[in-house]
Amino acid sequence: RRDPRGLYKKALRGEIPNFTGISDPYEPPRNPELIIDTEHDGVETNVYKVLDRLKELKLIEK
């Protein structure tokens, strides 16, 4: 469902070495500045979360 390019299938077959979450462990960040929940929130909601955070950091104008 979330593997349109088939990368996870290839990694599971051993065709892609050091694939995070398959042959290489996933290491979650200790203190993330932003959490994007793609499982429960839609694209538009997540885009606004990113834009809001960038504005807070003054990386883009309001």
* pLDDT-based confidence at residue 53 (cuts at 50, 70, 90): very high
Number of domains the chain is built from:
2
Q: Are residues 41 and 21 in the same domain?
A: no
List pLDDT tens digits, range 2-45. 888 999 999 999 999 999 989 999 899 999 999 999 999 999 99
Contact in structure between 53 and 45 (CB atoms under 8 Å): no
**pLDDT of 1 above 80:** no
**pLDDT of 62 above 90:** no
pLDDT at residue number 2: 81
Contact in structure between 11 and 19 (CB atoms under 8 Å): yes
Q: Are residues 36 and 62 in the same domain?
A: yes
Q: Are residues 37 and 62 in the same domain?
A: yes
Give the CA distances from residue 58 to residues 35, 46, 52, 53, 55, in Å, rounded to whole numbers and listed in that order.
Answer: 18, 18, 10, 9, 5
| Matching residue, tokens 């462990």 | 25
pLDDT at residue number 14: 94
